[in-house]
Structure 1
Amino acid sequence: MVLTCKDYHVGWICALPVEYLLAELMLDKVHDSVPYPEDDENEYLLGQIDSKKTGGHHNVVITLLPSAEKGKASAATVAKDMVRTFPNLKIRLLVGIAGGIPGSPVQLGDIVVGAPEDNSPGVIQYDYGKHLEEGTFVRQGSMNKAPRVLRTAIAAVQKNHLRARLVERRDYISYLNMDEVKECATRPPSVGHAPDNEIQEVAVLSTGSDPNKSSIEPALPEVYYGVIASGDAVIKDPEFARKIRERKIQNVLCFEMEAAGLDAYGCLVIKGISDVCNKDKNNDWHRYASAAAAAFARELLTVLRSTEVDNLPSLGNTHWNVPRMLSPLFTGRELLLKHMSEHLVPESDAKSPCRVFVLHGIGGAGKSEAAIKFATENQHSFWGIFWIDADNEQSIQQSFENLANMQIPPLAASDAKSVLQWLANTKNSWLLVLDNCDNIETDFAGYIPSRGGSVIVTTRLTECQHLGVWENVDDLGLEDAIQLLVRACGLKQEDQQAEWSHARAVVNLLGQHALALVHAGAYIKKGFCNLQMYCQTFRAQASKLMEFKPVQQASRYKNVYTMFEISAATLASSDDEDSQTAINLLEIFGLFDRENLDVDMFERAFEYCLVFEKKHGLFWNAGAYQKSLSGTVADVANSFHNSVCVVSPDNGSCDEIYHLDLWHFEQVRSTGLVGSMLVSGFRAACVRLSELSIIRVDKKQILMHPLMHEWAKVRMPLAVQEQVYSRGLCILVLATSMTLTQQDKDRTLLHHISACLDHSVENEIPLNVARALYRLGNYLIKPRTMDLAFQEFVMVPLFNHILKHFHPGSHTYTSRANCLLHW
């Protein structure tokens, strides 16, 4: 039978030539070479190791890192090419030597297997983490666990070793005693380390040994199971090793340099101890330690059924269906990607429910980019990576049809239901990305296979959080956001520090919004302004800058404004009454102060409106008040007048400014937010906005992204702005009517009144608007003692606003306004 690259299921990686040689000696049969791709520079040795259980065998491919290119980067490159050349690899082994830790029970020549008894990851990256105060170091990097079938085989080996009580009866010892192995790798007669004058205890591994002895009785290697520390440096510092031992970090048993580069490949690491972590490192034990590790690897494969390996999913990536390359500006997200890897990368061959990870956040926060980053970094952990455009039903069906046609041969049925069923039953590992799951009418749970594989969901919908493990990605992190901006601006490394404070101001202004930062950088890079000027430019021309769209690095939505407008379009296209009311509430939020949006303030206004209606027998119907009891609506309107009012016989109105009118209640009612005594239209609208990540309600506080708030403000046409201005003032007025003794609410109202005064008024304001402004000023000033700063902040601007835009003929207005202004 002529073998091809597709017939090899076990990959064996070595770092040194001596490891490669001893791996070859463990083969039961060496195979002839097969053709390899021209762009693969790896050196391969092909062969087989027989399985004791079934009479079958494992086809094994052994490769070696390039000379003088050690470390995790080189290991990752070699593994990547190996996967590409041998697409049906099912398991991988990294077999070689490592340095022991002074004081550890692990001796020279012993074997360490990266498989802790608590089933935690077998490799940590000791040089990846954060140095904290007091000199402490928090490790952040860990490697994926070995596949379940290998962990099961390890259990079988451990059982065999317990049965063979004498070490010399274990299988790996018999492989070490093979003539060819003994000839190549004889156990050294001495420990091979000269005593260290300052730290003698590091001259040997065991604290019970005498460092002055030049030799010890020949011993046989023992096997230890635990954590292997991996990093780019050779550890020769006994103090560093001593700290590792004293702190007992993750029960580390040894150090090496390659395993951390194989994080994406589900690799089992097997190491023989060849030296101690001190300055006297030498090569005396390299051959024997390499042989011991290789012998254990051979024993492990002999207890592994070949059928078990054949039935495993392939580790290499065959299908890559990602719509675009990763942005070269991608910055940060390390912790998010770590959490995604821990949850999504398959560690077991058994079929289980789908592993689902939901990336949730507002539009442009970087959800899709995070999904692409994860797919790019972990592509070799999945046989297939399939991208579903979940924008609408048509794009979903088209994406599943494309997935079906990618297969060889194409699937017989290409509808979404059939493809999902096929994914649930295929033995290969796959990753399905459901991107842009933002349609509130679509049940996206129906597009997740019933079992097997991994799924990423990117969405603005809070309701989708229940689909799996989820994280919100709105917060990029201040330092990463600044770094993203300066990179997008094209600043040279030497110029970044000088611009850091200006970049920080822009990041705070834009709320760390990833897409807005990229577009701001593009705007600055084009020369329209510099970093120092951007904040001022944005405040003056927010709409223009939000609509700016770069040619390169463009979003699928073209610009920030259009991207946010997708959410509003979703609401507008819905026939649901709550969605229409949510648009009204969004407009009011845009008028008010973002940092002081308070649930209580709105509910006080709506409660007062309901109490007023009940008192006067009014009910709201078809956009107008109607009377349920005796009398008319006009009678209720007339009840607002006082004895000093001069009422017009034509329309029942007067020119007095000091009292409210039925119009103020009508304005609040027209928002649709009041609801009834039992059902709150306001809360239903908040739910709709929250579902689309436009707002977030935290207890009584309404939280809104600063850029989203700016968009809500600038998106309103002039005619709508005037209407929203009137409605917002009336809500504030009714809220004050319920809080005449609640002075703790004043500061919140102050900020909202101040925000309303920023509203640009083109024409003379109507009497009822002036009444609302007057009432707010009277509320704030009459029962309280106000300091000068308070008056300057709100009071003077408020009444100047009235005097500037309202010019009635009534003497009552002028006298009352002047009285307040000179209070």
Structure 2
Amino acid sequence: MASLKRLSHADYTIGWICALPLEMAASQAMLDDIHARLPTKPGDENTYCLGEVSGHNIVIACLPSGSYGSITAATVAAHMLSTFRAIRFGLMVGIGGGVPSPEADIRLGDVVVSKPQGGNSGVIFYDFGKILSGEQFERTGTLNKPPQALLTAIAYLESTHMMGSCQMPNILSNMVARYPRMSQFTYPGHEHDELFEAEYDHIGLEQSCDACDKSRLVDREPRLSDDPQVHYGLIASGNMVMRDGHTRDRVAKQPGILCFEMEASGLMDHFPCLVIRGICDYSDSHKNKQWQGYAAATAAAYAKELLSTISARTILKTPAVSEARNTVDNRSNHSNDRDGLSNAEDLERPGSPQMWYCEIPSCSYRSKYEYNWRTHMAKEHDVYSHASSRHDLRSPPTNTPQPQGDSSINDARGALRPKGVKARSTRFRSPDLKRRYTEQQYSNTSVRMGGTTYSGNIIGNTGTIMGNSYTGRG
């Protein structure tokens, strides 16, 4: 047996998350090539399937068996991003409950894709408990919009499908040919697609609707083809399974929801992604598992066709999620620091030869994350030269001892320097490394920030300005 291709963690740029084992199986069946597994970071309990789809390296993870919902999904996504730091965006792929209406002729096996519209990002959150208690529907939040690369891709795919060019049927056929035992993922037949009136509840304890009154079925025009159709719009993510037709319609009619699910709400503000759901039931009391396999397959097939429209170059232009998140966290953590500078004493002395300009590296250093103050604050501050030595801080110093054997230093200019010479950029990955660097004191220094100059001593790389000035957080 040939050995599997082995890449590095940095080679994987797309995260693919599923909630159920059958969703994971359908997703794995979409891989053009399967890669060798890689070690995970300490604390990461996910089990990953690595592979390639349309030239893209994919990381697939499934929620733990028996654990569903937003909290578990958020945990899985966080662990994935900690181990695979180069991921640009995610795909949430699996099954969901449809919301059929005269405006959206949704059938079982169709696919619903989250798409921003009407001021919404494509996924909205709701409190199911309040709905059941009879309160008015109230959205409790929205998911951040997917990256531009995904929005552009779904627009292109939507237009090609309108022209009759859809690769999903071929992808599904190839899946079965490649994996003959995946019979449960094939089309069950339109005769098993039954939509009952919203007010009519399921009869009996069995999942089958054999005992239900067929006269209460909704009369719908037969389709000319059994191929799945794709619908673009809003997906509602809640804290419970929607299984009541009347409640479904009451909730969905207000914002125009096409689908209900439970996991996407856990990714709010943390994992920019597109949510893709294959419709396995109608979010009513008649739901059963007959269509789950096929719905999981159609969702995975759409995801594969979508990725085939995106170039690797386009994905690499998208910032990694970990980088974007660190930037947002850093700016949020230090907004108060910057605001407070306006009230600091103005120590500027025009024409003073003792004046130099630098960035204040005021970052919150936390374990497991990197913060590069040069990256986050370069737009606000510029480095020039040291006041006394006139050393050019924009280039590495000469004859300066470099730390040996410490791979945590990502920038050679982060080495220890003579008194008064400040590094332009340094990353700390551990509290101990930070401590060793903050032991070095830099004096005879002035810092210009926001139009005001502050004088004193800079202590290490913590951004602390000692003296009659401003103290930042390190």
Range into which the TM-score falls when normalised by the shorter chain: 0.5 to 0.7
Distance in 1 of aligned mates of 2:242 and 2:141: 18
For residues 242 and 85 of structure 1, what CA distance do their matches in structure 2 show?
41
Q: Does 1:256 align with 2:261?
A: yes
From 289, 297, 307, the counterpart of 2:295: 289
Residues 212, 158 of structure 1: alpha-carbon distance in 2 compared, 3 angstrom cutoff: closer
1:45 aligned onto 2:49:
yes
Contact 1:117–1:225 under 8 Å retained in 2: no
Q: TM-score, length-normalised on structure 1?
A: 0.38
Please list the CA deviations of residues 463-500 of structure 1 after superposition, one character each: whole Å capped at 9, or x if unmatched: xxxxxxxxxxxxxxxxxxxxxxxxxxxxxxxxxxxxxx
C-alpha distance in 1 between matches for 2:152 and 2:422 = 36
Instruction: Give me the whole-angstrom Cα distance separating, in 1, the residues matched to 2:412 and 2:216.
Output: 69
1:408 to 407, 410, 413: 410
| Aligned positions of 1:37-186 closer than 5 A | 37-50=41-54, 57-103=55-101, 104-117=104-117, 120-127=120-127, 135-163=135-163, 165=164, 169-178=165-174, 179-180=177-178, 183-186=183-186
Alignment of 1:667-678 (within 5 A): none
Q: Alpha carbons of 1:32 and 1:153: their partners in 2 closer, same or farther (altered >3 Å)?
A: same
CA displacement 1:309-368 (0-9 Å, x = unmatched): 2333221269979xxxxxxxxxxxxxxxxxxxxxx589xxxxxxx9999559998xxxxx
- The equivalences for 1:69-468 within 5 A come to 69-103=67-101, 104-117=104-117, 120-127=120-127, 135-163=135-163, 165=164, 169-178=165-174, 179-180=177-178, 183-189=183-189, 190-193=191-194, 195=196, 198-199=199-200, 211=217, 219-246=226-253, 248-249=254-255, 251-263=256-268, 264-316=270-322, 359=336, 384=371, 386=373, 408-411=410-413, 443-444=449-450
Aligned positions, number: 362
Label 1:444 to 1:238 Cα distance change in 2 as closer, same or farther (>3 A): same
- Give unmatched runs, 5+ long, in structure 1: 51-56, 204-208, 322-343, 347-353, 364-374, 421-440, 448-555, 557-565, 574-823
Conserved in 2, the CA contact under 8 Å of 1:230 and 1:256? yes
CA contact (8 A) 1:122 1:143 kept: yes
Contact 1:87 1:318 in 2 (8 A): no
Distance 1:210 1:297, change over 3 A: farther
CA deviations 1:425-483 (Å, max 9, x no partner) are xxxxxxxxxxxxxxxx9642799xxxxxxxxxxxxxxxxxxxxxxxxxxxxxxxxxxxx
Partner SS for 1:316 = helix
The structure number with the bigger radius of gyration is: 1
Distance 2:221 2:307 in 1: 34
Instruction: Report the Cα offset of residue 37 of structure 1.
Output: 3.2
Q: Which amino acid aligns with 2:227?
A: L
**3-state SS in 1 of match to 2:16:** strand
Match of 1:29 in 2: 33
User: 3-state SS of the aligned residue for 1:76?
Assistant: helix
Q: Is the 8 A contact 1:99 1:275 kept in 2?
A: yes
2-structure distance, mates of 1:376, 1:266:
24
Using the alignment, how far apart are the partners of 1:228 and 1:360 within structure 2? 39
Shift of 1:290: 0.7
Q: State how far apart, in whole Å, the 2-side matches of 1:445 and 1:98 are.
A: 54
1:611-690 to structure 2, matched below 5 A, reads none
Q: CA deviation at 1:303?
A: 0.9
| 1:487-636 matched pairs, under 5 angstroms | none
AA in 1 matched with 2:25 = L
Report the AA paired with residue 258 of structure 1.
Answer: E
Assess, with a 3 A threshold, how the Cα gap between structure 1 residues 319 and 360 changes in structure 2: closer, same or farther: closer
Question: 1:129, 1:141 within 8 Å by CA — same for their partners in 2?
Answer: no
Gaps (5+ residues) in structure 2?
A: 203-208, 210-214, 341-363, 387-392, 397-402, 427-446, 454-463
Give yes or no for contact 1:128–1:141 (8 Å, CA) kept in 2. no
Does structure 1 residue 19 correspond to structure 2 residue 23?
yes
Distance 1:318 1:443, change over 3 A: closer
Q: 2-side partners of 1:97 and 1:183: how far apart? A: 17
Q: 1:15 to 1:385 in 2, by over 3 A?
A: farther
Equivalent residue of 1:177, what SS? helix
How much does 1:39 deviate?
3.0
More helix by share: 1
Q: Distance in 2 between matches of 1:376 and 1:222?
A: 48
Distance change in 2, residues 1:140/1:92 (3 Å): same
CA distance in 2 between counterparts of 1:66 and 1:279 reads 26
Equivalents in 2 of 1:279, 1:115: separation in Å? 27
TM-score normalized by structure 2?
A: 0.64
Query: 1:101/1:6 Cα in 2 relative to 1: closer, same or farther (>3 Å)?
Result: same
**What pairs up with 1:760-775 in 2 under 5 angstroms?**
none
Check conservation: 1:172, 1:292, Cα contact below 8 A. Answer: yes
Separation in structure 2 between the aligned mates of residue 273 and residue 180 of structure 1, nearest angstrom? 24
User: Percent identity between the aligned chains?
Assistant: 32
- 1:176 maps to a residue whose letter is L
Query: Which digits, 9 at most, give the CA deviation of each residue in 1:522-564, with x for residues without a partner?
Result: xxxxxxxxxxxxxxxxxxxxxxxxxxxxxxxxxx9xxxxxxxx
